[in-house]
Amino acid sequence: MQQIIVIGAGIVGISTALELQRRGHSVRVFDRSGVAAETSAGNAGAFAFTEVEPLATPGIMRKAPKWLLDPLGPLSIPPAYALKIAPWMLRFWRASRADRYQKLLGAQVSLMQHSSAALTRQIALVDGEARMQRDGQMQLYESEAEYRASLPTWELRRRHGIDFELLESREAIAERQPGLSPRFTHAGFTPNWMNTIDPKAWTEHLVQAFRDRGGQIETHEVLNLTPIENGVRVTLANGTVDADHVVLSAGAWSHHLAQTLGDHIPLETERGYNTTLPEGAFDLRMHLTFSGHGFVASRINNGVRIGGAVELGGLTLPPNFKRAETLLDKARQFLPGLNTEGGTQWMGFRPSLPDSIPVIGPSPGAPNVIYAFGHGHLGLTQSAGTAEIVATLIDGQAPPIPTTPFAANRF
């Protein structure tokens, strides 16, 4: 039995701790804020296994200038952050080249397929089915042209075995989701899409299972990681702790600790905004994606969460909640019966790498430190799969999928 410290009590860290514990290891989780205190608390609650296409797609940089002209649009960069993020954007552009894109697509597909199966195992392990919603998802389009432009992505999903149905009339859309604006003329429906009833509650459910089996979660600010003989020394604000292995899964803050090991990983922050409306706000039958506007509507505890879009603004700039208000205004137009009173606003940090896939694997200079971060907006989706990969690496076993595409030194 090895002594393992997991840094980060979000969904990826907790899933990893639970899997390592299941394999017989002694596991402690350290987090500076507490369980699901950051992005794992307020995301859309979706297990988006159908979203296999990387964000860095060929031709995307031709679209970016149009998006960036709208400070409240689907993608924005605050002027105060534009210079700082320029190197990341250059790497993003390089990742969108056709040859690189094909390799990233293959990696993303393999991680998604593995993560879907791993989630099934995780749900069974913790008796978690009651915390799932299996209602499907609908992506909505406002014109024939917008719909036609999306068909290559649907064909990509078909090639990878994803089940869906294309809806080509307002009537077909309304049959599945009444109450939508007639501006939506076409849609794609993915029946096997699933959500959790509440991402924070799901993480807390995993935490309870971890604690019931003897796991420990402690509030510490980790300052430094140092390789030692046969292990790792973790420096805290109030002392040091040694472990056989450390898993670094601290979300958008992970790269700061990686730097203490000499690893410079180009992690950036997609700041996502949402508003959660109380129960009764709208009769939402499934997860809705408003494809041309970069946001979604999901059911959270029988209320409605309206959120999404991307603001590349780092960790320290103050939040711009006008973005959440803009999304809510659009949702009111798209769902005419939506009651927007009594909502709670939120902003979270999605940890994103320029090639759209995470880092999963050992630190190049400290093999007893395993990285598991950078999942962007797919942390919840890929959490169970990442946990199983990390556990096999620590156990010295062959991982369930090739991990070379996710290596920390690929940059």
pLDDT tens-digit series, residues 161-184: 999 999 999 999 999 999 999 999
214 and 296 part of one domain: no
**Per-residue pLDDT tens for 178-233?**
999 999 999 999 999 999 999 999 999 999 999 999 999 999 999 999 999 999 99
- 313, 269 Cβ separation under 8 angstroms: yes
Q: What is the mean pLDDT of residues 61-77?
A: 67
Q: According to the model, what pLDDT value does residue 71 have?
A: 65
Residue range(s) defining the domain that contains residue 32: 3-42+200-266+356-410
| Residues in CB range of 356: below 8 A, 6 or more apart | 54, 55, 56, 95, 104, 108, 376
Is 215 part of a structural domain of the chain? yes
Tokens 């499907």 map to which residue?
136
Alpha-carbon distance 304 to 93, whole Å? 35
Is 231 part of a structural domain of the chain? yes
Q: Report which of residues 279 and 76 the model is more confident about.
A: 279
Distance of CA 221 to the CA centre of its chain: 23
Task: Output phi, psi for 301, to 5 deg.
Answer: 50, 40
pLDDT-above-90 percentage for the chain: 84
Quote the mean pLDDT of the chain. 94
The pLDDT confidence band at residue 343, using thresholds 50, 70 and 90, is very high
Q: According to the model, what pLDDT value does residue 64 have?
A: 62
260 and 275 part of one domain: no
Is 73 part of a structural domain of the chain? yes
Is 91 part of a structural domain of the chain? no
Domain boundary among 307, 334, 352: 352
Is 88 part of a structural domain of the chain? no
CATH (domain of 271) = 3.30.9.10
Q: According to the model, what pLDDT value does residue 16 have?
A: 98
291 and 344 part of one domain: yes
Is 114 part of a structural domain of the chain? no
**Position 25, amino acid:** H
Is 113 part of a structural domain of the chain? no
37 and 142 part of one domain: no
162 and 256 part of one domain: no
Domain total of the chain: 2
**Per-residue pLDDT tens for 108-148?**
999 999 999 999 999 999 999 999 999 999 999 999 999 99
Pairing of β 26-31 and β 3-7: parallel
140 and 256 part of one domain: no
Q: According to the model, what pLDDT value does residue 2 have?
A: 87
Question: How far is CA 74 from each of CA 78, 254, 337, 348, 401, rounded to the nearest angstrom?
Answer: 13, 25, 23, 15, 33
3-state helix, strand, coil split of the chain in percent (to 5) is: 40, 25, 35
Q: According to the model, what pLDDT value does residue 316 have?
A: 92
Q: According to the model, what pLDDT value does residue 68 have?
A: 61
392 and 248 part of one domain: yes
67 and 160 part of one domain: yes
| Residues in CB range of 71: below 8 A, 6 or more apart | none
- Edge to edge, the sheet with strand 194-196 lists 46-47, 194-196, 132-133
Q: According to the model, what pLDDT value does residue 220 have?
A: 95
Alpha-carbon distance 141 to 123, whole Å? 33
Is 136 part of a structural domain of the chain? yes
176 and 319 part of one domain: yes
The pLDDT confidence band at residue 31, using thresholds 50, 70 and 90, is very high
Q: Is the pLDDT of residue 66 over 80?
A: no
312 and 347 part of one domain: yes
Each residue of 351-378: b (16+ CB within 10 Å) or e? bbbbbbbbbbbbbeebebbbbbbbbbbb
- Distance from first CA to last CA of the chain, Å, rounded? 34
Alpha-carbon distance 204 to 41, whole Å? 10
406 and 297 part of one domain: no
231 and 372 part of one domain: yes
- 230, 236 Cβ separation under 8 angstroms: no
Domain boundary among 352, 370, 398: 352
Domain boundary among 333, 352, 371: 352
Question: How far is CA 299 from each of CA 198, 310, 347, rounded to the nearest angstrom?
Answer: 8, 21, 18
CATH (domain of 384) = 3.50.50.60
